[in-house]
């Protein structure tokens, strides 16, 4: 029985907290200072690893596509396919991994350690809702940073692909650049950003939930961080699939 009720209860509590966050979202005063601090903090822990991950990610896509297009005799489409792959799938996924792995884990550890030091309880007793005060600014910050990171990953990924295809594999720069818009369209970028926005929100909500329900001393915080990252990854890949599926249903594809 516990095997079934346990996860269902967790999912229910997570959903309940999401609603609490939505309710607290329009409440004033908005914690501007906390929001800016969190934006800066999340950005500072994610920017460098994101850039470093997206270079080889772009390169590996270029490598796969370069070989494939040569076999098919469609070298002129290398750039087009590479942009499509990076913008549509690779960059939201890389963003998701880093927002969850670096940003989410930091949020979870921060809130978890506050929880076990009774800081969260103290805040509630002082008549201040930790959701409004701590969680809302973190969720918004995480969403903003995810959207911006997604842009960064797209640029760095495409640049990495270009470098690999043109310099290493000896492709033609003109063909690579000219085919950029052959398959990809603006809607791809929008979808990509919407995905990033959702990923940021989910990563922050799961991390906050796990952090605020941490218990059992320092070990409990470690467990919470671990679970937060794992749960976020699972949710993000599901959301990624669902959003992609919806995208193909509602946005007409080029040619």
Partner 1 sequence: MGVAIEVTGLTKSFGSQKIWNDVTLTLPAGEISVMLGPSGTGKSVFLKTLVGLLKPDAGSIVINGDDLVTLKEHDLYEVRKLFGVLFQDGALFGSMNLYDNVAFPLREHTKKSESEVRRIVLEKMDLVGLSGAEDKLPGEISGGMRKRAGLARALVLDPEILLIDEPDSGLDPVRTSYINQLFIDLNAQIDATFLIVTHDINSTRTVPDNIGLLYHKHLAMFGPREMLLSSEEPVVRQFLNAQTIGPIGMSEEKDADELAAESGQELPPLPPIPLQLGTSDGRPRRAAKPAGEWCRAHGVTPPPGSFLSGNAGVPGVSQSVEVSTALGAAT
Q: Which residues contact 222 (CB under 8 A, 6 or more apart)?
A: none
| Residue 17 beta carbon to partner 1: minimum distance, rounded to whole angstroms | 13
Give the whole-angstrom CA distance, residue 166 versus residue 78. Answer: 10
Give the whole-angstrom CA distance, residue 49 versus residue 87. Answer: 18
* DSSP structural state of residue 214: -
Instruction: Retrieve residue 167's tokens.
Output: 């310099």
Query: Burial level of 220, CB count in 10 A (0-12/13-18/19+)?
Result: middle
Of 118 and 242, nearer to partner 1 (C-beta) is 118
Give the whole-angstrom CA distance, residue 47 versus residue 29. Answer: 30
| Residue 201 beta carbon to partner 1: minimum distance, rounded to whole angstroms | 23
Of 117 and 254, nearer to partner 1 (C-beta) is 117
| Residue 147 beta carbon to partner 1: minimum distance, rounded to whole angstroms | 26
- Judged by the rule CB under 8 A, the positions of this chain that interact with partner 1 are 113-114, 117-119, 121-129
Of 129 and 244, nearer to partner 1 (C-beta) is 129
| Residue 145 beta carbon to partner 1: minimum distance, rounded to whole angstroms | 20
CA angle 165, 169, 175 (to 5 degrees): 50
**3 state DSSP class of 149:** helix
| Residue 81 beta carbon to partner 1: minimum distance, rounded to whole angstroms | 48
Of 121 and 251, nearer to partner 1 (C-beta) is 121
Of 67 and 118, nearer to partner 1 (C-beta) is 118
């Amino acid at each position: 029985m516990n095997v079934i009720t346990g996860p269902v209860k967790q999912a229910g509590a997570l959903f309940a907290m999401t609603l609490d966050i939505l309710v607290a979202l329009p409440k004033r005063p908005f914690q501007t200072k906390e929001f800016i601090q969190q934006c800066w903090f999340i950005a500072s822990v994610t920017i460098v690893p994101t850039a470093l991950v997206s270079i080889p990610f772009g390169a590996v896509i270029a490598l796969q596509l370069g070989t494939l297009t040569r076999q098919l005799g469609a070298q002129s489409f290398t750039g087009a396919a590479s942009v499509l792959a990076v913008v549509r799938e690779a960059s939201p996924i890389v963003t998701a991994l880093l927002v969850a792995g670096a940003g989410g884990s930091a949020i979870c550890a921060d809130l978890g350690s506050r929880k076990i030091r009774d800081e969260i309880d103290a805040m509630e007793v002082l008549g201040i809702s930790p959701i409004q005060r701590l969680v809302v600014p973190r969720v918004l910050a995480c969403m903003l940073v995810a959207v911006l990171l997604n842009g960064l990953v797209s640029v760095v990924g495409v640049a990495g692909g270009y470098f690999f295809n043109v310099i290493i594999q000896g492709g033609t720069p003109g063909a690579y650049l000219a085919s950029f818009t052959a398959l990809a369209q603006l809607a791809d970028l929008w979808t990509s950003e919407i995905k990033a926005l959702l990923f940021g929100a989910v990563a922050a909500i799961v991390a906050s939930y796990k952090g605020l329900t941490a218990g059992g001393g320092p070990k409990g915080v470690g467990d919470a961080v671990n679970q937060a990252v794992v749960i976020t990854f699972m949710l993000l890949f599901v959301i990624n699939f669902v959003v992609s599926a919806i995208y193909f249903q509602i946005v007409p594809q080029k040619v």
